[in-house]
A = this chain, B = another copy of it.
Amino acid sequence: VTSTALAQRVRRTIERYDLVPPGTRMIAGLSGGSDSVALTILLTDLARLPGPGAFELVAVAHLNHRLRPTADRDEAFCRTLAERLGLPIVVESADVSGFSGEAHVSVEDAARRLRYGFLERAAQAFGATRVAVGHTRDDQAETFLLKLLRGAGSTGLGGVYPRRGSVVRPLLDASREELKAFLVARGEPWVEDETNTDLDNPRNRVRHRILPELDLVYGGGAAGAIARAADLVREDGQWMDELAEGRFAVLVEFTPEGLAFDTASLAAEPPPLRGRVLLLAMRQGANGREIARAHVEAVLALLKGQGRAAEVPGGRWELRRGKLVLFQQRHELK
């Protein structure tokens, strides 16, 4: 793959998903790893091209996670690269371990939340409306497999979204390998993340053990095939989620105790929408707690006349005179 061919592919990804409206001011997240270095350089190249889809890359943003022994080396690397490319760089330090403890979330989750919070602030500081991050087709395949193993349905299986709010992922159609080859061809260095080899981490296990095994089944191409399936499943899931929101608004009744649905009307919905409407109802009272597929199944069983009540995060479903009622818990006083 030539440099130009890769840049063209990234441009097509941007067009295909309408990631970047013409004239957009954008920043890029830069960790110093091969994906984000390639992202920064490819966007610098593309931003120079004139034409109707032109955008501006106005800065890069680096969050020093202070988790790895090499954190300061990585920060210095990013500062040097930005200077060489003539891009302003904004750097912040984060106390990931501290936040992970306070918020009772995994270190990975804490790092992700702090990173996206930082990127949003950095974008605002530069008057940018898009934040590009370096997720690749391989990340897409890994995320799909990880969600699959957790029993996600089509909404979760969609994996990594090309765009979520202001965050865009222009490298989703490129592989990690070809990004590295691109950097090597350009003589561009990057820093390696040595924690990427720890096999106790589920994502690393999928990357280093599962995907190579999957490649052996049909002689290669596993990540690409999985990423394409994820695209289709995500497209389907997004549309059905939208439909379900419409049906939820039509079917829901607000009562003093919580939410209610007419059982006959709910039972008349097609199964994919019925489950999603129930999920939307439960999310309202769950206060951010995760609703599992098992909770949806329990309520669907109630609707079929199996059982009398179903306990779910933040509430309890019961059948009452032809209605399926979600009694929501009051928020506890502290």
Contacts and interface: CB of A to CB of B under 8 A. Distances in A.
A149 B214 contact: yes
A216 B205 contact: yes
A110 interface: no
Interface in A201-245: 202, 205-206, 209-210, 213-214, 216-218, 221-222, 224-226, 228-229, 232-233, 235-237, 239-240
B229 A236 contact: no
Contact of A154 (B146, B151, B205, B232): B232
A157 interface: yes
A239 B271 contact: yes
Interface string A269-310: 011100100000000000000000100000000000000000
Given A148-B225, A210-B217, A225-B151, A157 B233 contact: yes
A233 B154 contact: yes
Contact of A210 (B205, B210, B236, B240): B210
A151 B228 contact: yes
Contacts of A236: 153-154, 236-237, 240, 272
A152 interface: yes
Contact of A202 (B152, B218, B221, B233): B218
Given A210-B213, A213-B213, A217-B210, A232 B150 contact: no
Contacts of A218: 149-150, 202
Contacts of A146: 217
B235 A233 contact: no
Copies in the complex: 2
Majority SS at the chain A contact face = helix
Contacts of A221: 149
A284 to B, nearest CB: 21
Contacts of A206: 217
B272 A229 contact: no
Contact of A272 (B149, B216, B235): B235
Contacts of A157: 229, 233
Contacts of A229: 148, 151-153, 157
Contacts of A293: 228, 232
Interface in A142-196: 145-146, 148-154, 157
Given A202-B217, A209-B216, 19 more contacts: A145-B214, A148-B226, A149-B217, A149-B218, A149-B221, A149-B222, A149-B226, A151-B225, A151-B229, A153-B229, A153-B236, A154-B233, A210-B214, A235-B271, A235-B272, A236-B237, A239-B271, A239-B272, A240-B272
